[in-house]
Chains A and B, each alone.
Chain A
Amino acid sequence: MSTTRENVLIRLQKIDRRWIYLVLWLVVMIPLLFPFKIQPQPSPTVEKLFNYIDTMPENKALAISVDFTPDTRAELQPMVVALMRHAFAQKRRVGLLAISVYGLGLAEEAIQQVTAEFNTNARTHEDSVIYGEDYVFWGWTTPVLTVMLGMGERITNVFPVDYYGNRTESLPIMRYIKNYDDIGILVTIAASAIPRSWINYAQVQFGVNLSCGITAVSAADFYPYVNSGQFIGMLAGMKGAAEYEQLVAQRMKKNGMDWALRNRGTEAMSSQTAAHLAIMAFIVIGNIAYFATRRKRK
């Protein structure tokens, strides 16, 4: 091997990591500024959850447990938004709660966003979403056991006041959502092992249907629960969020709600694609440089 080539390979291996950071920054930024249209195709696990909520009986509510914190907001917040849009589009009641105190603000942000979308575009009173009638934000309490086991008996005992300080017993919606029996499915959106706790406590004791939206880091670990049927489908990372957004957009269009809403998960797909290719290139280049210099040393 020539000395020049060897020097290049050695320098490649010892490159200052800040050059790698810069390349990554550009690779992610440019597609955001100049996106290429790229439609995610829903995977079976996403479709399973979507179809379940889509065909849920009218008297059953969707419960969303916002179990994540601001660090994973980018991946998981789009899931909360998409789920709420889906439920409202299908005129299903929604109940939200947070297992972590730091998830409260995120749930509130999602509620403000989605209710503004629906109420801005509503043409009739029936199309609008009203707090206390169409949805409720139970808020947060601790510890986890109190929430997961208590909700199976009576939700108003677990959350005597909602997030806004209203007595939950006084809300009209709570006449229809007393405990898990009135919940068609509870979707836990989490970045940790909390979904396992939902299975262990809520599902084992009360048989509530569960699903989860999980960060991609943990997604692979939760497939055994999807396989066993303990989770009805699953949303994995930003990809799962983007796929669900697409399905919800199609459903809303069918329902006459073609409002051109912003889908953050889908928007990220072009950057995600470019970044994945960049990481793969880093790995390949790193390995080529490594093996080439190793062969030279031999």
Chain B
Amino acid sequence: MQRRIPLLIVLITGIFGAVAFFVPYPAIRSADEIMRNDVQRIIAAFSLVLGVGSIVQHHLIKIQRKAQFWQYSYITLIALVITAIIGLFGGIDIARPGVLPTRLGNFSFHIQTIYSNMMVPLAATMFSLLAFFMSSAAYRAFRARNLEATLLLLAAFIMMLGAVPLGRLIHRELPAFAEWILAVPNTASKRGILFGVELGIFATSLKIILGIERGWLGGGGK
């Protein structure tokens, strides 16, 4: 029952989703629109509970158990609560403030300001660290051990030179050659891989709908 009902729902909604693509009848189209605009939208909104709830639960447990760096969990929770309060009660459009004032004199702490000046720098810098890790990996690990690795290296070098204007100064045709590598051999290999991946996705989607693939159910239940 605890597994059969969800499997039945997956079967019905899956078949409906596939059939709606082919059937032009207004009743089916209308049902499909309701499914997308009402059902999927509202359920997707509640799915945020999973993400936020998991984060909150994880950090509360860390604090309770006094795990390593548990003090920093307070920062996450406090930041989450404060940002949510400012956003929920302060409004999301600077021109239309909410019930909570988000300005102290000239200093604004509107949700958009917090986004632009805290979230963007934090996220962007976090990802920019990858440049350093990549350079270290390139120095330590990228070895032309065999013909295939050498081929990969050569292609990478041509791309790196072709991607910058300097490539044109080295050889007039280098950027065009780099473009050719992308447009011909790269396209061929990526398309071949794409066929395999898409057939795999198709098979997995079918297995999910037919109830053969049940990993998403998680453990427990009958």
Tell me the smallest distance from the CB of A140 to a CB of chain B, in Å: 11
- Chain B residues within 8 Å of A72, by CB: 127
Contact of A165 among B93, B115, B127, B160 (CB under 8 A): B93
The answer to whether B139 and A146 touch across the interface, beta carbons within 8 angstroms, is no
Distance A193 CA – B102 CA, assembled complex (angstroms): 36
Partner of B163, one of A24, A223, A239, A282: A239
- Cβ of B136: which chain A residues have Cβ within 8 Å of it? 17, 20-21
Interface residues of B in 25-51 (CB under 8 A from A): 32-33, 36-37, 40-41, 44-45
Residue B66 at the chain A interface, CB threshold 8 Å: no
Bound together, the chains give a CA A223 to CA B92 distance in angstroms of: 38
Instruction: Tell me the bound Cα distance from A209 to B95 in angstroms.
Output: 35
| Cβ A71 vs Cβ B187 within 8 A | no
The reply to whether B36 and A145 contact each other, CB–CB distance below 8 Å, is yes
Any A CB within 8 A of the CB of B131? yes
> What are the interface flags for B97-126 relative to A under an 8 Å C-beta threshold, 1 for contact and 0 otherwise?
000000000000000100110011011101
Which B residues lie within 8 Å of A167 (CB)? none
Question: Which of A91-99, A117-125, A176-184, A270-278 participates in binding chain B?
Answer: A270-278
B36 touches A146 (CB 8 A): yes
CA A105 to CA B32, docked complex, whole Å: 31
CB closest chain-B residue, reference A220: B186
- Size bracket of the A interface: 35 or more
- Tell whether B144 is near chain A: CB-to-CB under 8 Å: yes
Between B93, B95, B139, the greatest number of chain A beta carbons within 10 A of the residue's beta carbon is seen for B139
Query: What B residues does A226 contact at CB under 8 A?
Result: 183
Check B128 for interface membership: any CB of A closer than 8 A: yes
Q: A276-B161, A280-B160 are in contact. Are A286 and B144 (CB under 8 A)?
A: no
Chain B residues near A74 (CB-CB < 8 A): 124, 128
Given known A105-B116, A157-B37, contact A272–B93 (CB-CB < 8 A): no
CA distance A150 to B37 in the complex (A): 8
Complex interface residues of chain A between 251 and 286 (CB less than 8 A to chain B)? 269, 272-273, 275-280, 282-283, 285-286
On whether the beta carbons of A43 and B175 are closer than 8 Å, the reply is yes
- Cβ of A141: which chain B residues have Cβ within 8 Å of it? 41
Q: Which of B112, B160, B165 contacts A108 (CB 8 A)?
A: B112
The distance in angstroms between the C-alpha atoms of A198 and B135, with both chains bound, is: 34
Chain A residues near B33: list those with CB within 8 A: 150, 153, 157
Chain A residues positioned under 8 Å from B122 (CB to CB): 70
Shortest CB-to-CB span from A224 to chain B, Å, is 4
Report B-chain residues with C-beta under 8 Å of the C-beta of A20: 132, 135-136, 139
Q: List 21 A-B contacts (CB under 8 A).
A: A21-B132, A21-B135, A24-B131, A24-B132, A39-B165, A71-B124, A102-B119, A105-B120, A143-B40, A143-B44, A145-B40, A146-B37, A146-B41, A165-B93, A223-B190, A269-B164, A272-B164, A276-B161, A277-B166, A278-B135, A282-B135
Closest 8 CB pairs of A and B: A71-B127, A70-B123, A282-B139, A273-B164, A105-B115, A224-B191, A70-B120, A17-B136
Given A43-B175, A142-B45, 18 additional A-B pairs, CB 8 A: A24-B131, A44-B179, A70-B122, A71-B127, A72-B127, A73-B120, A105-B112, A109-B116, A142-B41, A163-B93, A164-B96, A165-B96, A205-B21, A226-B183, A279-B138, A283-B139, A283-B142, A286-B143
Give B contacts to A, CB under 8 Å.
21, 32-33, 36-37, 40-41, 44-45, 92-93, 95-96, 112, 115-116, 119-120, 122-124, 126-128, 131-132, 134-136, 138-140, 142-144, 153, 157, 160-161, 163-166, 168, 175, 179, 182-183, 186-187, 190-191, 194
